[in-house]
Amino acid sequence: MPAYTKFDARVNSLVIESRTAWDASVGPLTDEDKSWLAQQVHQHPEQATKIAYERMHTGFAREITVTKDDIARIYREQVGA
């Protein structure tokens, strides 16, 4: 079975579960920040730096590992820079 470690629109359309992991370089964040950032990164999975799909019985689980680059991109988009 192929490894699903990059965004794939077809596979993404079959996602039934989303997970968020945090890269070690991110550092400490509040639970509120983590919740908001996870929501933002999963809204546009095609832009995630690290993404993986795991095959499940009825579809796929998508796990995005949030990196410092993802956080910087999200904040740039929010301020319109």
Asked if residue 3 belongs to a domain, the reply is no
Domain residues for the domain of 15 are 9-79
Residue 1 has pLDDT above 60, yes or no: no
Asked if residue 34 belongs to a domain, the reply is yes
Task: Note the pLDDT tens digit of each residue in 33-81.
Answer: 999 999 999 999 999 999 999 999 999 999 999 999 999 999 999 887 5
| pTM of the complete model | 0.89
Asked if residue 65 belongs to a domain, the reply is yes
Asked if residue 43 belongs to a domain, the reply is yes
Asked if residue 4 belongs to a domain, the reply is no
- Taking the C-alpha atoms of residue 25 and residue 11, their distance in angstroms, rounded to an integer, is 28
How many folded domains does the chain comprise?
A: 1
Asked if residue 1 belongs to a domain, the reply is no
Which helix (H) or strand (E) is 20 found in, with range?
A: strand 15-22
Q: What pLDDT is stored for residue 81 in this prediction? A: 58
Asked if residue 58 belongs to a domain, the reply is yes
Task: Note the pLDDT tens digit of each residue in 6-31.
Answer: 999 999 999 999 999 999 999 999 99
Q: Is 30 exposed, middle or buried (0-12, 13-18, 19+ CB in 10 A)?
A: exposed
